[in-house]
Amino acid sequence: MKKFDIPAYYRSSVTGKIKELRRIKDLRKQDFTPTVLDFGPVKFYIARHFGFCYGVENAIEISYRALEENAGKRVFLLSQMIHNQEVNNDLQGRGIKFIMDTDGRQFISWDQIHQDDVVIIPAFGTTVEIEQLLLDKGVEVQKYNTTCPFVEKVWNRADKLGKENYTVIIHGKPKHEETRATFSHSAQGAPAVIVRDIEEAKRLGEYITHDKSQEEFFEEFAWKHSEGFDPHRDLQRVGVVNQTTMLATETQAIADYFRQLMLLKYGAENLKEHFADTRDTLCYATNDNQDATYQLLETDADLAIVVGGYNSSNTSHIVELCERKFPTYFINSDREIKSASEIHHFNYDRKEKIVTRDFLPAKTPVKIVLTSGASCPDTLVDRVMLRVLEYFPGSRSVEEVLAKL
């Protein structure tokens, strides 16, 4: 796989070494068991796969190159390049300005963007409408387009569905930049509708079975369907794609649900005429990170710490998986660990920061699962580990533990 030129301070001397050792021992990536770091009074279970993925490293390389190549010019990002505050803060500190936030609210009006400005398209991609707006202004959009190739793969799959006269059902978070971009591209050639989860998919299914009216559809799925969508006409032939960072198991459950619904309605002999078997359109990194997290659930750890941006979709799903077994603390950096008895962390369901005291159990060894999202620099994971180690005097040194791997 391509090696990217990203700033050295995003690289890691601890978890980076662990990743390289695991890569050498497992070139075909068939072993998803965690790496165990035994420091004596505390033991860490490090996920087999975590941290920066291909798409993120590609976006970082292009963004820093844009700054280097355009000294004296104004450089903009459409929105956060990736969902990590460390990376975005560093880019802003170097002069990049964000045109909008992650929900699409404008910080800088389009009237202020001119032909000579440099505009970087983030890893999530952007909508057809925004890309055309920039082209109409004479802004070069492809030179610094960091759209992840795995996102573009979903767009291509949706385009193929449209050409085969299927409606595109998108499993994603409606406000997420990637879902908005995928919806925009899908709607160019096909009717399109977004479902957030399996529960919403089942509500959409009620329009396939005609158990609900068109009027109810337009109220229930307002802003989640393409222009001119007719639920009774456009839900006769469907295929499912997804935001690439969703839970793989839920995407599969949604696809299986619509497949079974079409089977019951039209019969096995007509299934292919009404349901397109798209397979899974998740990116490889999301799959690897989720598979590695399932292996973490096989450990007997006391708690889990997941590091990443609070608006990161792929990180939130890792948190969701860890919460099935462990007390789980979702933090964006080591600064959220205030002391041995206090951690500030994010409740993703309620979208709020909370404080937990006595999060480290009074026992030895304390066993901690440690992982991160695909937009999190490995250096942040290092800092979290070193921060926790401060509370365990007498621990073995990092060098000693790594030497035994």
| Beta-carbon contacts of residue 93 (< 8 Å; ≥ 6 apart) | none
CA–centroid distance for 258 within its chain: 24
Lowest mean pLDDT among 58-62, 64-68, 119-123, 276-280: 276-280
Name the token pair of 276: 């397109």
Cα(220)–Cα(215) distance, rounded to whole angstroms? 9
178 given a catalytic annotation: yes
Tell me the pLDDT of the chain averaged across its residues.
93
Higher pLDDT residue, 59 or 188? 188
User: Residue 2: pLDDT above 70?
Assistant: no
pLDDT at 358: 95
Rounded Cα distance between 88 and 94, Å, is 10
- The runs of H, that is alpha helices, within 106-247 are 128-136, 149-163, 177-186, 198-208, 214-220, 231-234
Q: Give the N- to C-terminal CA distance of the chain in Å, as an integer.
A: 24
User: Is 149-276 the same fold as 8-53+284-403?
Assistant: yes
- Cα 31 → chain centroid: 23
What is the predicted pLDDT for the residue at 284?
Answer: 75
Tokens 């969701």 label which residue?
320
Choose the catalytic residue: 86, 177, 178, 320.
Answer: 178
CB-CB contact of 352 with 27 (8 Å): no
CATH of domain 149-276: 3.40.1010.20
Chain-centre distance for alpha carbon 54: 12
Phi and psi at residue 100, to the nearest 5°: -145, 170
Q: What is the mean pLDDT of residues 288-300?
A: 95
Q: pLDDT tens digit string along 242-253?
A: 998 888 889 999
Residue 390 has pLDDT above 80, yes or no: yes
Band the pLDDT of 78: cuts 50, 70, 90.
very high
Q: What is the pLDDT of residues 169-208, one digit of tens each?
A: 999 999 999 999 999 999 999 999 999 999 999 999 999 9
CA 154, 155, 156, 162 dihedral sign is positive
pLDDT > 70 in the chain, percent? 99
Please tell me the predicted confidence (pLDDT) of residue 39. Answer: 98
Average pLDDT over residues 287-295: 92
Using N-to-C axis directions, what is the helix angle for 177-186 and 149-163, rounded to 10°? 30
What is the average pLDDT across 9-16? 87
What are the domain boundaries of the chain? 8-53+284-403, 54-136, 149-276
Query: Please, which pLDDT band fits residue 79 given cuts at 50, 70 and 90?
Result: confident
Residue 61, Cβ neighbours under 10 Å: how many? 17
Quick one: how far is CA 52 from the chain centroid?
11
Mean pLDDT, to the nearest integer, of 113-118?
96
Output helix, strand, coil percentages for the chain, rounded to the nearest 5. 40, 15, 40
The pLDDT value given to residue 228: 96
Percent of the chain exceeding pLDDT 90 equals 81
Q: Which CATH architecture has domain 54-136?
A: 3-Layer(aba) Sandwich (3.40)
What is the structure's pLDDT at 286? Answer: 79
pTM, full prediction: 0.88
Q: Is residue 327 reached through a cis peptide bond, with omega within 30 degrees of 0 on the bond before it? A: no
**Best CA proximity match to 157, nearest among 177, 132, 182, 176:** 182
Has domain 8-53+284-403 been given CATH number 3.40.1010.20?
Answer: yes
Contacts of 149 (CB under 8 A, 6+ apart): 54, 55, 58
pLDDT at residue 155 is higher than 60:
yes
pLDDT in the model for residue 371: 97
315-367 pLDDT tens trace: 999 999 999 999 999 999 999 999 999 999 999 989 999 999 999 999 999 99
Q: What is the pLDDT confidence band of residue 9, given thresholds at 50, 70 and 90?
A: confident
